[in-house]
Amino acid sequence: MSGLAEKLYLTGDLSDEELRALITSDEQEEAETLRRRADEVRRKYYGDKVFLRGLIEISSYCKNDCLYCGIRRSNKDADRYRLSREDILACCENGYGLGFRTFVMQGGEDSFFTDDYMVSIISEIRSRFPDCAITLSLGERSRESYKRMKEAGADRYLLRHEAASEELYSKLHPAELSLRNRKECLFTLRELGYQVGAGFMVGAPFQTVDDLIADLRFLQELKPHMIGIGPFIPHHSTPFADEKGGTLELTLRLLGILRLMFPEVLLPATTALGTIAPNGRELGLMTGCNVVMPNLSPVRVRKKYDLYDNKICTGEEAAECRGCLQRRIESAGYTVASERGDHFSIHN
């Protein structure tokens, strides 16, 4: 089976059987070829640049009850909060001073953040920081909602599809959530002109290799600008508390595969990757990743945005977090880029 990483590098795709063999391989030589080729491809399109996205976690309230998530509505132990308008703008101000040129407003599906409220905040950020990209990650909303926020100045939207297989999706989510609606939201966002991010968990309960191949095939159909994947990490107050987490090896394997299948994509080395291994994010960067999303949220709320156990960077000031990340990024052989960091196709 040796040589599949090289074949993927040369052709950009493999058959399902070949993907299955590459995903399950434990050959070190194959893993190293995949890593090396993934790094080569990211350097071809983005050089050694790593783009920083300032993450602002605006709310830990969520109306959904996803079985893997620490802020699911039936977790009575969750410590809920909402950032005020002033908080959010202060995070942007702080982030701008630290060199961030993308702000990501992320939160649970919280009806407090109505379209009117979001439009007004987005418009203000757009007028105060005209050279910055505004990214939203607020779950499933109506077409009209997405449209209004786009018109107010939002540039990008992150919405992980979580699982492209109907069967797996239904095992991870409550009955009122549907994969069909999730996918519809993603295609709507694309159609409205957002730079779109999708993605999935690696090593989720019940996940099979066929499910991972389904994820890759769905991403080929969607053609997102950004793909966010990270290992599944159990949370103690969810039905999956005792499940095994996703592994570093499999996550890195899939990151390499994604970079070769989607050469121009923006690919984050996620916080979850840094949570399961002290050098996880550096290894991600060396396997094709070119985005890191440090936390700009006020320190007082960081532990409350508790999606999974042992999340890193919950106690540091944004400036400390940024300084520490810059050193880590440079130690891995890359440079921090103080720019919006759009998808390659936007300016080419």
Indicate the burial class of 121 (C-beta count within 10 angstroms; 0-12, 13-18, 19 or more): buried
| Phi, psi of 103, rounded to the nearest 5 degrees | -115, 135
CA 317 – CA 297 distance, rounded (Å): 9
pLDDT digit of tens for each residue in the chain (348 aa)? 469 999 999 999 999 999 999 999 999 999 999 999 999 999 999 999 999 999 999 999 999 999 999 999 999 999 999 999 999 999 999 999 999 999 999 999 999 999 999 999 999 999 999 999 999 999 999 999 999 999 999 999 999 999 999 999 999 999 999 999 999 999 999 999 999 999 999 999 999 999 999 999 999 999 999 999 999 999 999 999 999 999 999 999 999 999 999 999 999 999 999 999 999 999 999 999 999 999 999 999 998 888 888 888 878 888 888 888 999 999 999 999 989 999 999 888
Q: Which residues contact 190 (CB under 8 A, 6 or more apart)?
A: 196, 222, 223, 224
CA 64 – CA 174 distance, rounded (Å): 8
Residue 318 has a pLDDT of: 81
Residue 68 has a pLDDT of: 97
Q: Which residue has the tokens 């080729």?
A: 37
CA 280 to chain centre: 15
CA 31 – CA 50 distance, rounded (Å): 22
Indicate the burial class of 180 (C-beta count within 10 angstroms; 0-12, 13-18, 19 or more): exposed
pTM for this one? Answer: 0.97
Q: Is residue 138 a contact partner of residue 111, using CB atoms and an 8 Å limit?
A: no
